Amino acid sequence: MSVASAAAAASAAPAPEPSPEQSFARRLPKIELHAHLTGSISRECLHDIWQSIQGRDSAVNLQDPLVAIPSDKVDYDLDTFFPLFSSYIYKLCSDLPSIEYSTKAVLQDFQSDGVVYLELRTTPRAIPDRGITKDDYVKAVLNIFNAWNRDNTNTLRAYLILSVDRRNTVAQAEEVVDLCIKYSSTGVVGIDLCGDPAKGDVRIFTGSFARAKAAGLKMTLHFAEADISASDAELETLLSWKPDRLGHVIHVKDEYCKVIKRENIGVELCLSCNVHARMITGTYSDHHFGMWRLTNVPVALSTDDVGVFCSPLSNEYALAAEHFNLSRAEIRKLCTGVVDSIFTGNDEKDRLRRIYSQWDGWAA
Ligand code: IMP
Ligand code: ZN
């Protein structure tokens, strides 16, 4: 099984002619800051893994991903989205070869879409049946990232964020913090809080996130993703952790918007995901990107789960340009603004600023 075979399968269907805005967005060097590793695995890659399991492990009785997740289905909502992982994709990617293969394919897919800098997040996952610990999982993903970054022919640089799931216990969150600290010199740059917004009480994680911050890790949090996770108590708790960035930022009253602006917290906004999953009322032109782009805070257009919602980052830029009438100068300002909120240091910031200042496609 090779990454090339996944790409070949992906390119088998005839692609519609791209619009000028899509071609521009594809060529544009892009920064992706909010993407989940397992949610970024393409259906073709999952299909490859499924095929290889058929040969290797006849006990695994799972439907072909191309049947289980039909190619035109993107209308997953908060009720159907999370079970897709727990009852299907995690069962499919349940050994180290599948995890390594899919991680490599995800990096390749982002690079092919013109992404030059990626902070990918994942929830450390133990697979006891296979003797895989959370530490093994993180090590396997990081090995792929580091080999990728060492290869000078790659134009994308990738770094890892580890996620605490809202359903975690305090002990499990502490384990994530331990892994973040252990691997902070070899590619882990931050910690995230993710998972089903209907689950959990975030207050129990206050000590764990404080420990991560004290250890020098950057912090991003899924924030007000759904009504149910947007109570004053929850948002005040999350803001009290002093996050560096916030994801989604949907059901946020004015007083919290003011805090985000005052503290210049970067926002990671996911247009297609929010529209397809009906997390916002209305459609693209109603998205709160329209409000945030006019503020001082860095706005990172992001994909969230390109494997599920099938909208690569270039398409997110094309959609933003189309629905908010962005000029090339406005897109340039948006892109260069994102550089300020990346979690790595000045080397990467300098590299990205250089890429944007030297890029000859702005006028095209
Ligand atoms: P993983 O962490 O690499 O396994 O990526 C998949 C996981 O990311 C899912 O099981 C969810 O817990 C989390 N995730 C993906 N998208 C979202 C989102 O939009 N909100 C909250 N959690 C998410
Ligand atoms: Zn997310």
Q: What are phi and psi of 132, to 5 degrees?
A: -100, 125
What are 191-229's pLDDT values in tens digits?
A: 999 999 999 999 999 999 999 999 999 999 999 999 999
User: Which atom from ligand 1 is nearest to the alpha carbon of 90?
Assistant: 4
Give 20-358's CATH code, choosing from 3.20.20.140, 3.60.40.10, 3.40.50.720, 3.40.50.1980.
3.20.20.140
So what's the pLDDT on residue 15? 72
**Known catalytic residue at 225:** yes
- 38-84, pLDDT tens digit by residue? 999 999 999 999 999 887 765 568 999 999 999 889 999 989 999 99
Q: Which residues line ligand 1 (CB under 6 A)?
A: 36-39, 85, 122-123, 163, 165, 194-195, 222, 225, 304-305
Catalytic: which of 32, 119, 175, 225? 225
Cα dist. 171→129, 180, 189 in Å?
A: 21, 14, 21
Question: What are the C-alpha distances in Å from 201 to residues 194, 197, 210, 262, 317?
Answer: 12, 10, 16, 26, 34
Q: In Å, how far from its chain's centre is CA 143?
A: 19
Is residue 6 helix, strand or coil?
helix
* Beta bridge pairs of residue 223: 248
CA of 121 to the centre of ligand 1 (A): 9
User: How much distance in Å is there from the Cα of 247 to the middle of ligand 2?
Assistant: 7
Pocket test for ligand 1, best of 123, 248, 251 (most atoms within 8 A of CB): 123
Radius of gyration of the chain (CA): 19
Nearest ligand to the CA atom of 78? 1
Separation of CA 99 and ligand 2 centre (Å):
19
Of all protein residues, the one whose alpha carbon is nearest to atom 19 of ligand 1 is 304
Full-model pTM: 0.95
Contact between 102 and 16 (Cβ < 8 Å): no
Closest CA to 287 of 257, 323, 321, 245: 323
Among the atoms of ligand 1, which is closest to the Cα of residue 125? 4
Q: Is the dihedral of CA 164, 127, 40, 276 positive or negative?
A: negative
Q: What is the residue-wise DSSP string for 161-192? A: EEEEETT--HHHHHHHHHHHHHTTTTTEEEEE
Residue 10: predicted pLDDT: 47
Report the helix count and the strand count for the chain, using DSSP H and E: 18, 8
What DSSP state is assigned to residue 336? H
Nearest CA to ligand 1 atom 10: 85
Give the full edge-to-edge strand order of the sheet including 30-36.
30-36, 115-122, 157-165, 188-194, 218-223, 245-248, 266-269, 299-301
Residue ID of nearest Cα to ligand 1 atom 12: 195
Q: Among all ligands shown, which has an atom nearest to the Cα of 85?
A: 1
Give the position of tokens 């095209």: 364
Low-confidence ranges of the chain (pLDDT < 50): 1-11
Read off the amino acid at residue 41: I
The domain segmentation of the chain, as residue ranges, is 20-358
Query: Quick one: which ligand is closest to 277's CA?
Result: 1
Tokens 């390594």 correspond to: 100
What pLDDT, on a 0 to 100 scale, did the predictor assign at position 264? 97
Rounded CA separation 207/34 (Å): 24
Cα distance between residue 189 and residue 342, in whole Å: 9
Q: How far is the CA of 296 from the centre of ligand 2 (A)?
A: 23
CA of 171 from ligand 1 middle (Å) equals: 20
Tell me, what DSSP letter sits at residue 14? Answer: P
- Locate the ligand 1 atom nearest the alpha carbon of residue 197 and give its number: 21
- 88 DSSP assignment: I
CA distance 40 to 273: 12
Pocket test for ligand 1, best of 37, 85, 103, 176 (most atoms within 8 A of CB): 85
Residue nearest to atom 14 of ligand 1 (CA): 195
CA distances (Å), 118 to each of 35, 82, 148, 257, 329, in order?
8, 23, 12, 26, 23
Rounded to the nearest whole angstrom, what is the distance from the C-alpha of residue 163 to the centroid of ligand 1?
9
